Amino acid sequence: QVQLVQSGAEVKKPGASVKISCKASGYIFINYAMHWLRQAPGQSFEWMAWINPANGAPTFSQKFQGRVTITRDTSASTAYMELSSLRFEDTAAYYCARGPVTGNFDLWGQGTLVTVSS
Amino acid sequence: DIVMTQSPDSLAVSLGERATINCKSSQSVLYSSNSKNYLGWYQQKPGQPPKLLISWASTRESGVPDRFTGSGSGTDFTLTISNLQAEDVAVYYCQQYYNSPPMYTFGQGTKLEIK
């Protein structure tokens, strides 16, 4: 079954970091870019970054450059996204999504809710 | 930055009728090099991730009912849902890709309900 399975919900304090995993199955992991997006409560989607699983090269939205780290473990078919210096406004559902570099996202993880609260 | 604006923000349509959702981009998403519009449509139901319905403005994804039709080019796009079914209740989003710098931008969403 082709799917992306993400790690569970997180509650963090302001200033902390969070690391989310996304395990791919049912397809060849290195053949597709892996993107990270987020959706704040009641809002639309915001693209954050993507990684080329074949060589590990990341590309970031200018908004998140310097605060987001994305990595992958090809042996585990898993991608990771770490967001640092968390703020209240980072509270959102974070998604990994498969897709070409140029186009749309055809496979999504179930989402990971990150709550930033003091 | 490219801005995607959807209209309306919400609409209510009777079962069996047609729903029309519009998406306007602040600049063209038509790439002359390959004549493709880098525009997709997604459906998101409560508590679920989005589902890609339409890519390249008008190409229906595998398994998507032919009630869903995408059209348009350049800056103006439309998603039409014919013969509305109860399971079509959702929020619909358009999304574009831009390559310099790389950016993927979504519309604000349109909430579709049954009248």
How far away is chain B from the Cα of A118, in angstroms, using its nearest Cα? 25
Q: What are phi and psi of B108, to 5 degrees?
A: -80, -10
Helix (H) or strand (E) holding A58: strand A58-60
Residue B40 to residue A102, Cβ atoms within 8 A: no
pLDDT at residue B100 greater than cutoff 90 = no
Is A59's Cβ below 8 Å from some Cβ in B?
yes
Segments of chain A with pLDDT less than 50: none
Q: Which of A34, A51, A104, A110 to mutate to test the interface with B (most CBs of B within 10 A)?
A: A104
pLDDT at A108: 98
Tens digits of per-residue pLDDT, B28-85? 999 888 899 999 999 999 999 999 999 999 999 999 999 999 999 999 999 999 999 9
In whole angstroms, give the CA distance from residue A43 to residue B44.
Answer: 12
In whole angstroms, give the CA distance from residue A82 to residue A42.
Answer: 23
pLDDT at B108: 98
pLDDT at residue B97 greater than cutoff 90 = no
In terms of Cβ atoms closer than 10 Å to its own Cβ (0-12, 13-18, 19+), residue B47 is exposed
Is A109's Cβ below 8 Å from some Cβ in B?
yes
Residue B99 to residue A35, Cβ atoms within 8 A: no
pLDDT at B32: 86
pLDDT at B33: 86
